């Protein structure tokens, strides 16, 4: 039996792109005629004609499937729903706006079936057409999150990728509510090949992102994959403790050389010391919160790629 590729396409108000996307994708499917395809459109609560268009496609084409949300739940939810319903041996993710060139699928498929990769993803090599300040923040964000978390997150990586069934199942085994796909892809591991290309503008319509949403997304991503921010209380406790000690020594020295410390100098070591104790208390609480957070995420303790125990 021929192998099957499922492609998950999250769509939110993409009436201007759906048909153009479908046509380009069908051309690629025709070129990859040895493989079966399944195109899963996930309508993320669109308010335009996206769902009608997708339904019309599903009616005339058996390869087209759809899921439609009751409201807009966000791209991450749409990706998860698509992955849950995908039945292919290989599963891909692609945006509906043709910023992810469908023809790259041919190379992606080769990367997995002939070169032994578990996943082939796409990275854009430039941030052309993006405000400079946004690019600056984006680069800083990638540096920061890679330092703070154990997920390997590639700068410029798009969500466009093709994965094996094993990797897809590993991603599905991470059933966390706050889904930060860029982190999840990196966290599950597996061997990934990166294809690079220059940024392409969307075929029609507008991006759903703005600076506020991106900032929220970036902070959320760090929170989902790192408990390092919870360490701030411990750092403050140590700093305040050192401050208390320094000020106390300064007071003693002043007494010894016969200079009476001001009222401020007399009470500040005490204030710092009390502050340090309070911070220490909340640092201990933070440590437990970090443990509860990790447990609540209920992530797999490990992910097996290969084993003689497997059927």
Q: Give me the residues that bind ligand UDP (CB under 6 A), please.
A: 10-12, 14, 44, 72, 74-75, 78, 95-97, 99, 202, 207-209
Which x/- pattern over 190-219 shows residues binding Mg ion (rule: CB under 5 A)?
A: ------------x-----------------
Minimum separation from the CB atom of position 33 to Mg ion (A): 28
Quick one: residue 98, left, alpha or beta (phi over 0 = left, psi -120 to 50 = alpha)?
left
SS3 sequence, 15-74?
CCCHHHHHHHHHHHHHHCCCCEEEEEEEECCCCCCHHHHHHHHHHHCCCEEEEECCCCCC
Distances 216 to 22, 44, 109, 210, 221 between C-alpha atoms, Å:
32, 19, 34, 10, 8
Minimum separation from the CB atom of position 7 to ligand UDP (A): 12
Nearer to ligand UDP, 73 or 245 (CB): 73
Minimum separation from the CB atom of position 94 to ligand UDP (A): 8
Q: Is 47 exposed, middle or buried (0-12, 13-18, 19+ CB in 10 A)?
A: exposed
Nearer to ligand UDP, 12 or 117 (CB): 12
Minimum separation from the CB atom of position 287 to ligand UDP (A): 35
Minimum separation from the CB atom of position 304 to ligand UDP (A): 31
Ranges within 127-186 binding Mg ion (CB under 5 A): none
Residue 308 DSSP one-character state = T
Contact 43, 51 (CB under 8 A): yes
Please state the separation of Cα 232 from the chain's center in Å.
24
3-state secondary structure of 183: helix
Ranges within 119-138 binding Mg ion (CB under 5 A): none
Ranges within 80-119 binding Mg ion (CB under 5 A): 95, 97, 99
Interaction of residue 13 with Mg ion, rule CB under 5 A: no
Q: Which residues bind Mg ion (CB under 5 A)?
A: 95, 97, 99, 202
């Amino acid at each position: 039996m021929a192998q099957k590729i499922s492609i998950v396409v999250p769509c939110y108000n993409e009436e201007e792109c759906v048909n153009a996307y479908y046509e380009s994708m069908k051309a690629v499917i025709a070129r990859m005629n040895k493989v079966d395809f399944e195109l899963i459109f996930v309508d993320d609560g669109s308010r335009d004609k996206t769902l009608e268009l997708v339904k019309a496609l599903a009616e005339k084409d058996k390869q087209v499937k759809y899921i439609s949300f009751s409201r807009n739940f966000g791209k991450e939810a749409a990706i998860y729903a698509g992955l849950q319903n995908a039945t292919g041996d290989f599963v891909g993710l692609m945006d509906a706006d043709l910023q992810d060139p469908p023809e790259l699928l041919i190379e992606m498929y080769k990367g997995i079936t002939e070169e032994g990769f578990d996943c082939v993803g796409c990275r854009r090599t430039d941030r052309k057409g993006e405000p400079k300040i946004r690019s600056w923040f984006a680069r800083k964000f990638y540096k920061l999150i890679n330092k703070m978390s154990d997920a390997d997150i590639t700068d410029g990586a798009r969500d466009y990728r093709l994965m094996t069934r094993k990797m897809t199942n590993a991603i599905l085994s991470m059933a966390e509510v706050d889904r930060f796909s860029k982190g999840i892809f990196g966290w599950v591991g597996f061997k990934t090949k990166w294809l690079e290309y220059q940024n392409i503008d969307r075929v029609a319509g507008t991006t759903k992102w703005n600076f506020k949403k991106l900032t929220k997304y970036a902070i959320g991503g760090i929170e989902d994959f790192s408990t390092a921010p919870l360490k701030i209380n411990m750092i403050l406790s140590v700093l305040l403790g050192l401050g208390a000690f320094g000020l106390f020594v300064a007071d003693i020295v002043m007494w010894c050389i016969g200079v009476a410390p001001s009222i401020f100098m007399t009470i500040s070591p005490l204030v710092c010391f009390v502050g340090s104790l309070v911070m220490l208390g909340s640092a201990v609480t933070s440590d437990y919160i970090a443990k509860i957070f990790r447990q609540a995420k209920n992530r797999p303790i490990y992910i097996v790629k290969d084993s003689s125990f497997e059927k």
